[in-house]
A and B are shown apart, each in its own frame.
Chain A
Amino acid sequence: MDESWIKVKVERYRPEAGEEEKWKDPLQVDFGGPGQDKGEAWLDFVLRDVASRRPKETEPNIGADVLVKPIAKTSIGGPAPNLPEPTVPVIPSEFKDDQEETPEAREQRMVHDVYETIAPHFSQTRYKPWPIIARFLSSIPEHSIGLDSGAGNGKYLPVVREGSKGSRMIALDRSSGLLSVARTQKGEIGDDVVGGAEECVRGDLAFDGWRKGIFDFAISIAAVHHLSTRSRRVQSICSLLLPLYLSPVAPYSKFIVYVWAYEQGENSKRKMGVLASPPEDHDEATGSNPNGAERKKDQDVLVPWVLQGPQEKKVKQPRPRKTKSKPNRGAAIEMGHAGPGGETASTAMTTSNDDVVSRPDETTGNRNENAEPPAVPEQAQPERQVFHRYYHLFVEGELREDVIAAATGMGFVIRGERDEQDGTRKGGKWLRIIEEGYEKDNWYLEGEVGVY
């Protein structure tokens, strides 16, 4: 039996003309169970009758119970679907600076262990990048070699392979589970990977073992925000810049960093972190950096990832400490949320393999939770597990500060738009910020490096 079906109550629906089983646009669903909020899902759904478990022939009535199954989307790069205002998909991080846990241990627990566990659920193998990343990758000179730092499941590898003539990227990631997906990542046109596999290297974002000057470009998409201290984020940017080839003449080596934004929503006015904290804290900053971006204490958050699994694999875990927003609310919401760095959430409720869900890894202290199982017939009873991943949400200007801190720390001169080549600096390394901006809840910065 396919375990990925979940029982929901139909609140309202809008069928597409000519489609009987596929549903687009918001299908409001009720996940049931005490304390669980209703959520809207923007994924395509296949509907099934609860009783017969056969495909629904007719439109379900409002209020009817149906089984739904999210269908993985094949592309998210097109125009944004008509999403309602995003709802807060996060809970505040419980980390405090004075906690004894080291940043390394915390990231191990709250990022790496979670990704290893959910890695097989990154089922999506075809992917269109956000416009900014697509534009960046298509601007890469032909026959280049690049680094994808924090490549995850390698979804950008085929984008480069197919989109930028003759160029390739090497994937670096901490998770062997994700890399094992990345190494055989197929592209839009379904081409086989040249040579049978992509090149993957296991290492963390601060890996500095690359020879200097070997890469023509480097990207780090939706990765740096998983590091839990500023020095570690800056260090990861150093490691991105370090192996770039420094040319005295154009074309120079380009890079792009893409991170999740603190400022969320269409007009950037929605402060996700702010909403995640109690009202009295809204405008309270823990301190501000005299040089720029104001730091908010709620920039560090935990974002849930929902796994469906077979009931018999249930692993008893203590519920997380009390937090101010309901984790289940976030979990339901993330289904429809186009997540950080262009990650689609369509995988959030995909089928679980037995061997995945059976290992939420108690030994490594992974935080996970068994949500109240919905009232579903015995044999269909799925188990929802919620894993929380740590994110640092970047405020406006913060990414620029971190890039500049990394570059100047490595001896780069920050080059302005109009400054002329200066003979006295001959041989000196420079970095120029080409563009920085905001795209779909993320901040990005594109730059290039070279020598005078």
Chain B
Amino acid sequence: MVRLITHNMLTCHVKNCTKDNFPLVFENVELEVRPAEANLDFIKRFIPKLEWDALVQTARSIGEDSLPEQMPEDKATLESEEFLQKLHHVLMEIHVEEGQMKCRGCGHIYPISTGIPNMLLAEHEVGR
């Protein structure tokens, strides 16, 4: 279950990969949509941390286009139940079960298997 909330947090961490290392691009994905109990306060609290463009772009890449191009500017819309529910669905209910995430910068592929993204790198790829 790489959900989009987690995807929105993950960057490529290959050594010297600093350009276009976010967001990672989903490829060959198998999706599952599972209804989840909504915690709109959790969503609201997470909004300031979201990379909106990355979220919208990624959601569209997997056929989910309910989110507006621009994050609503007025607080009333942003915190409306309708908007938060929409965001809850995109962030918390869409699970990528299989597939991979590809870095646009260096091309590294992070496989996703049984819902778990593998962020491990080979020793020579580690930037430390």
Contact = CB atoms under 8 A, between A and B. Distances in A.
A175 to B, nearest CB: 11
A41 interface: no
B37 interface: yes
Contacts, number: 99
A379 B49 CA distance: 59
A71 interface: no
Contacts of A381: none
A116 to B, nearest CB: 13
A167 B41 CA distance: 10
Interface residues of A, number: 36
Interface in A161-204: 166-168, 170, 174, 176, 179-180, 183, 194-204
A47 to B, nearest CB: 39
A350 interface: no
Contacts of B115: 183, 197, 200
Interface stretch (A1-9, A138-146, A288-296, A299-307): A138-146
Contact of A194 (B36, B46, B114): B36
A90 B126 CA distance: 32
A211 interface: yes
Interface in B19-43: 22, 34-37, 39, 41-42
B90 interface: no
A201 B49 contact: no
B42 A209 contact: no
Q: Which of the listed residues B22, B34, B116 has the most CB atoms from chain A within 10 Å of its own CB?
A: B116
A209 B119 contact: yes
B4 to A, nearest CB: 11
Contacts of B127: 208
Nearest to A179: B116
Contacts of B128: 206, 208, 235
B102 interface: no
B10 interface: yes
Contacts of B5: 199
B42 to A, nearest CB: 4
B57 to A, nearest CB: 15
Given A176-B116, A195-B36, A210-B9, A166 B95 contact: no
A195 B93 contact: yes
B116 A180 contact: yes
B11 A170 contact: no
Contacts of A213: 49
A278 to B, nearest CB: 36
Interface in A2-49: none
B41 to A, nearest CB: 4
B1 A196 contact: yes
A213 B10 CA distance: 12
A101 interface: no
A421 B8 CA distance: 33
B117 interface: yes
A211 B11 contact: yes
Nearest to B127: A208
A449 to B, nearest CB: 16
Interface of B: 1-3, 5-6, 8-13, 22, 34-37, 39, 41-42, 44-46, 49, 51, 92-93, 95, 113-120, 123, 126-128
Given A183-B114, A195-B35, A211-B22, 7 more contacts: A194-B36, A195-B93, A203-B120, A207-B13, A207-B119, A208-B127, A211-B51
